[in-house]
Amino acid sequence: MTDSQRDCEGTMSPIELYEKLNAQGEKVRALKIAKADKADTDAAVKLLLKLKVDYKQMTGQDYKAGCPPSVSSVVSDNGTLTDGGNDDEDTVDPWNVSTTNAKGVDYDKLIVRFGSSKIEKELVDRIEKVSGQKPHHFLRRGIFFSHRDMHQVLDAYEKNKSFYLYTGRGPSSEAMHVGHLIPFIFTKWLQDVFDIPLVIQMTDDEKYLWKDLTLEECHHFAVENAKDIIACGFDINKTFIFSDLDYMGSSPEFYRNVVKIQKHVTFNQVKGIFGFSDSDCIGKISFPAIQAAPSFSNSFPQIFGDKQDIPCLIPCAIDQDPYFRMTRDVAPRIGYPKPALLHSTFFPALQGAQTKMSASDANSSIFLTDSPKQIKNKINKHAFSGGKDTEEDHRKYGGNPDVDVSFMYLTFFLEDDEQLEKIRQDYASGALLTGELKKILIETLQPMIAEHQERRKQVTDETVKQFMTPRPLNFNLPA
């Protein structure tokens, strides 16, 4: 199903979607009876299945012919991946990621659940053609695996129409971990190859609402995290970093967009999407509109003037997608273009891919402040192994790179495709032992983090202030 088809469902009532499902079911039956072309029948069946997913997300019920939805049906998708109520399935929302599968979250199921599109080789090839650059290894290896409307962004770019990037960070501690770098590494690559502006939202207000922290602590963490982000090498002439606690009070245009979004999302919808309860503070309930507002170009008049039609592309981990499903639903109702998205997989905890790396658990994470010795000790002691219990068995049967955390980390940070594939084959055959694999990872991460620490030392408070000062950016604004 195309995004335009999905968008139509977003504006339908439950009964309208039910009737559309009935009509699509009849169409499928007619095609099968007529023994129509297989491609036509398969396309109709695919649309029917997608409509059923949309129906369950909207009503919380499976579609059944002859059983229309109740009048009280509301959006009930909280961003959690479930399948028939099975408690063993994956949990994915903006605050929780967990699975019972040692290989990690089933991303193919997640794409169906969230209604996004898989990044196929065709799209990767097109990005290479349009940008004139070899695709980043995050794209080549499926680390960024899902998208919304990326083809439309490329269509506009090919017509010499600019777009801008938006990503963010929720600053809950002074130190970021290597998993936090993934969207920023990729966003920097996008900024470089497309030569476009970037806005980075530091949601210090969100962390105050969700965590047991003071406003001062949250703002301090925002500044400290900004130093790590700047150390990734972003172009100061094309990058604006902002703290919500600062920018919301100084930009009437930004706040007006927040209010427009708030008016078009009901309490029932926000409860359904994010799982809020009656005991949650009202700040949490209103916050999603603040994360949505940077998706619209006129939230930044110092950069885009009053233009409200400049496309936005958001690289982020897929657990943030519920915010932007809401945003894409609201956008056409307030006269703005829908933001496009590129979704990444999760960076697994050292203990295994059943959950993502967490800044609240020191032993689950490799922090950007860790010393070479700490990196070595954490990997050797805590990194989950896909190897066998004894060297003899490992040599005989080989290891499982699909569940081995050290190999997973190398897929993120080892740039040489041929070297990575050789490591995979050697580990799977038993030629490479777990200790040897961990050593390769240690020798990959130690210099990478040491270099990042050196770059961060060069980032002063004055540098942060320059990045966080509202100002024009250097790019070609479309006429």
pLDDT digits (tens, 9 = 90+) for 380-405: 999 999 999 999 999 999 999 999 99
Q: For residue 27, report the phi and psi dihedrals to the nearest 5 degrees.
A: -65, -45
Given a cut of 80, is residue 216 above it in pLDDT? yes
Q: Collapsing DSSP states into helix, strand and coil, what is residue 447? A: helix
Given a cut of 80, is residue 8 above it in pLDDT? no
- DSSP string over 94-116: SS-EE-S-TT---HHHHHHHHT-
Position 376 scores a pLDDT of: 97
* Cα(420)–Cα(407) distance, integer angstroms: 9
End-to-end CA distance of the chain: 33
* Cα(189)–Cα(136) distance, integer angstroms: 7
Half-sphere exposure of 264 (CA within 13 A, CB side): 20
* 219 alpha-carbon distance from chain centroid: 23
**Assessment of whether the complete model's pTM goes beyond 0.75:** yes
Position 37 scores a pLDDT of: 87
To the nearest 5 percent, what fractions of the chain are helix, strand and coil? 55, 10, 35
Least confident stretch, 64-78, 85-99, 102-116, 145-159: 64-78
Position 13 scores a pLDDT of: 63
Amino acid at 307: K
Q: Please, what are the domains in the chain?
A: 3-70 (1.10.287.10), 92-349 (3.40.50.620), 358-457 (1.10.240.10)
Alpha carbon of 257 to those of 58, 197, 262, 292, 459: distances in Å?
25, 20, 9, 9, 32
pLDDT digits (tens, 9 = 90+) for 311-352: 999 999 999 999 999 999 999 999 999 999 999 998 988 988
Position 80 scores a pLDDT of: 36
Residue 41's pLDDT band (boundaries 50, 70, 90)? Answer: confident
Dig out the tokens for 23 from the structure. 């009509």
Position 133 scores a pLDDT of: 95
Given a cut of 90, is residue 22 above it in pLDDT? no
Least confident stretch, 39-53, 114-128, 178-192: 39-53
